[in-house]
Structure 1
Amino acid sequence: MTTAIKSAPDRTSFVKPADVAPKWFVVDAEGQIVGRLATQIATVLMGKHKPEYTPHVDTGDYVIVLNAGKVQFTGGGMVHPEHPAFTTKMAKKKYWWVTGWPSGLRNIPAINLWEKKPEEILRLAVKRMLPKTALGRHMLDKLKLVEGDVHPHQAQKPEAFPAHLMPSKVVS
C-alpha cells in the first residue's frame, strides 16, 4: 500500500526590513472628516494597503497631509467667529492625557487645541490608531503634516493618495 506524499501547504512569506521600499503619498485634508481621513492615513502608514503587509515590520509608506488644520468634525454646524466648519461635535470633543503625577489627568477642548495647533487634531487621531509600541512611534514619524498647500518634500516625488483609500466626503 503506497501513500501519496502531500506537498507542504502554501507558506506565508514575511517581508524583511531591507526589502521594503516606501513610497510617498500626498493628500489634501481640506474639508475631510477627521476620523475617516485618519483611518485611511493610519492604514497607509502601517502598510496594510499592501499585499506584503507584515505586522512586525514597518512596511508602510510616507504620507504628506496638506491643509492639515482644515479638517472638520461631523455634527450640526454652529457659528464661530474664526472656524468656518465649527460643529456641535467639535464643541463637545476633549482630548485627555495623564501627566504621570498624582491628580495629573488633564484635558483640552478641541476648539482650544485647534486655536493653538490646528494640525495636532489630525496627528492625535492618527497616533491613536497606530500600535502603541516603538514600531508605532516610528510609523508616526512618517506622517508629515503641513498647514498650507505647499510642502518641502518635492525631492521625494510624492504621488497622489490612492483614490480607493480616500474617504468619501459627507455632504452636509
Structure 2
Amino acid sequence: MTAPPDPHGGVDHRTSSAPTTPPRSVWLARWLWIAAALVGLGNTLLRLADREMLIGELRRVNPELSQQEVDAAANGGIMFALLFMAGLTLLYVFFGNRMARGANWARVLVMVLCGLYVGGRLFAWFVISMARSLLDPRLMPDMAVGPLTVLFTTVIAALNIAVFVLLLRGDSRRFFAGPGVRPPG
C-alpha cells in the first residue's frame, strides 16, 4: 500500500524547531498596534459626534449651499468617514494578526506604517509651529487643533513607537527569522 501524495511536495512545513506561539514582545506589539487603531477610531467618532462643528465647517467652506445640501454633505461625510475608519481598523487587526502568526512581511509593513505615522506627526507639528511663528496670524487658516486632538495624536504616536521598539527586540527578530536562519547580532 502506498501513502497518499503529499500536498506540500514532500516538504514538511511543520518543523519542530519553529515557535508555535509568538514571544511576549510580538504578542504585546500586536495588541498595542490594534489599540492604536482603536484610539484612532475613537478620535474619529468623537470628531464626527460634533455635528454642529461639521455643519459650521461646511457653511464656512461653501456658504451658498442650501440647508438640505449641507445636511446631505454632512451625512455623506460622516458615513464615508465611518466606513473608512472601520475598514482601516479591520486592516490594522488583519496585519496585527498576520504579524503574530509569524508573517515577516506583516512585521515589516507594521514597522513602516509606525515610522510613517510618527514621522508624519513630527513633521506636521514642526511645520505648524514654524508657520505660526513666521507668518502673520491673519494669513494662517483657522486650524482647529484642540487639546483632545493633540492628546489622541500623542497617544497613537506613543503606541506606534512602542510597537516599533518591540518588533526590533531580539526575541521578536528570532521569531520572524524562522528555523535555521539567524538574524545578525
Normalising by the residue count of structure 1, what TM-score does the alignment of the two structures yield?
Answer: 0.23
Find the structure with the greater CA-based Rg. Answer: 2
Task: Tell me which protein shows more strand as a share of its residues.
Answer: 1
Higher helix share: 2
Q: Which has the higher contact order (CA 8 A, sep 6+)?
A: 2
